Amino acid sequence: MAISNKQKAVSLLKSLEKGVSEMSIRPNIVRLIPVILALAVLLVPLPAAAAAQFGTVQNFGPSLKSDCFQPEGIAVDPQTGRVYTTSAPFSPGGLGTSATVNICVLSPTGQLVDKISVKAGPSGAIILLGAMFVPEEGLYVVDGGDGSLNPAATGGRLLKIDVDSHAVTTVATGFSSPNDVTRDEDGNLYVSDSARGVIYRVNPGGIVSVWSNDPLLAQHGFIGVNDLAFDPGQNFLYTDNSDNQQLLRIPLRKDGSAGAAQIFATNSPIHPPQGVPDGIKFDVKGNLYVCTPALNQVQVISPTGQLVASLSGTGDNALDSPASLAFKGRTLYISDFSFLDGGVNSKVSRVRVPFPGLPLTGEDGDHGDHGDQAD
């Protein structure tokens, strides 16, 4: 609570004390009710994100329609401030028709400074989705293969890319429809498979195992388990089921195994209708930022599951099917998938937010904003 509110509360308490001492309580109790109500309002704390100021959503960099059609995943190098966004082309021919796609590299000031071409694997087609940058290791991305969302498909890959040499290393294979990747403090990687309703763990030695196949992760017609993000204490791995319009969290037990998935929030307490939840990321205060592409919004959810802000932009700077999120300090970068308009508005957006993003495990804290700030 702000100092001014504290002062008002103290003043009201003193007035209340004086009123009680100077008059008989029974005849005047009605006169005290407004004072009590005003005091109660002042003592109700606001969620941290709601009490702070958000900036204005702005376009960042050039149109990516020609270079990274329908950008989906996004990651930031915390040391250089470079932004990496992946291409998942949903062309007239459908997902999985491209033999090569690009990862676009934007400088901290928004110039397109590099393109990394990635070729299809055994499936013969490639769509690049979730991305994560780990200093001293490289850029991790998931390849959805032919994008069929068939649980029996095995063409999905987890890749690691050297952003300097453009060398591509296959870390793990055999997934159906991998959607996102994140990492724990022990160096284990976690990959969501939207078709199978499974979260896989890939240990530092490259061994793949099922970490969770909880029924709440299951696909029901299109996309099941989607994005991944650990909370500030790494007590839970948060995810979303796009088909069910639910935000979920899975306890990370002391032995590293998964507990039973829990519903953290659904469309009703967040924003009816929420639309299909997609990319998620935490800030250091535990607020969860959630892409809702059907609404062209990024919604900010408090640690208790309440909606505290909706970010959308206006005019040419409006979000367009926001898909994924990446923080650089207090600057939030957003990939605009441009789904409903056929990719014509493929771009990256950014917005200044009240608190820094939660550093991914493997990052050496916050390296500042490099002048890369939205209003």
User: Could you read off the pLDDT of 185-241 as tens digits, one per residue?
Assistant: 999 999 999 999 999 999 999 999 999 999 999 998 888 899 999 999 999 999 999
The fraction of the chain above a pLDDT of 90, given in percent, is 67
Question: Among 323, 340, 333, which Cα is nearest to 276's?
Answer: 323
Please state which of the ranges 24-33, 69-78, 154-163 shows the lowest mean pLDDT: 24-33
What secondary structure does DSSP assign to 71-137, as a single string?
Answer: EEEEEE-TTT--EEEEE---BTTBTT--SEEEEEEE-TTS-EEEEEEEE--TTS---EEEEEEETTT
Residue 34: the pLDDT is 42
Backbone angles phi, psi at 300, to 5 degrees: -110, 120
User: Could you read off the pLDDT of 292-322 as tens digits, one per residue?
Assistant: 998 999 999 999 988 899 999 999 999 999 9
pTM for the full predicted model: 0.84
- Give the integer Cα–Cα distance in Å for 158 and 366: 26
Q: Flag whether pLDDT at 362 surpasses 70.
A: no
- Give the integer Cα–Cα distance in Å for 249 and 283: 16
By the 8 A CB rule, do 298 and 287 touch? no
Check residues 134 and 269 and name the one with the higher pLDDT: 134
Domain boundaries, the chain: 3-43, 62-272
How is domain 62-272 classified at the CATH fold level? Neuraminidase (2.120.10)
Radius of gyration of the chain (CA): 23
Matching residue, tokens 């004086």: 18
The torsion defined by the Cα of 175, 176, 181 and 183, in degrees rounded to 10, comes to: -40
Q: Looking at the chain, how many residues does it have?
A: 375
Residue 146: the pLDDT is 81
Check residues 207 and 365 and name the one with the higher pLDDT: 207
By the 8 A CB rule, do 243 and 224 touch? yes
- Give the integer Cα–Cα distance in Å for 156 and 143: 5
Please state which of the ranges 75-84, 148-157, 210-219, 348-357 shows the lowest mean pLDDT: 148-157
Residue 70: the pLDDT is 95
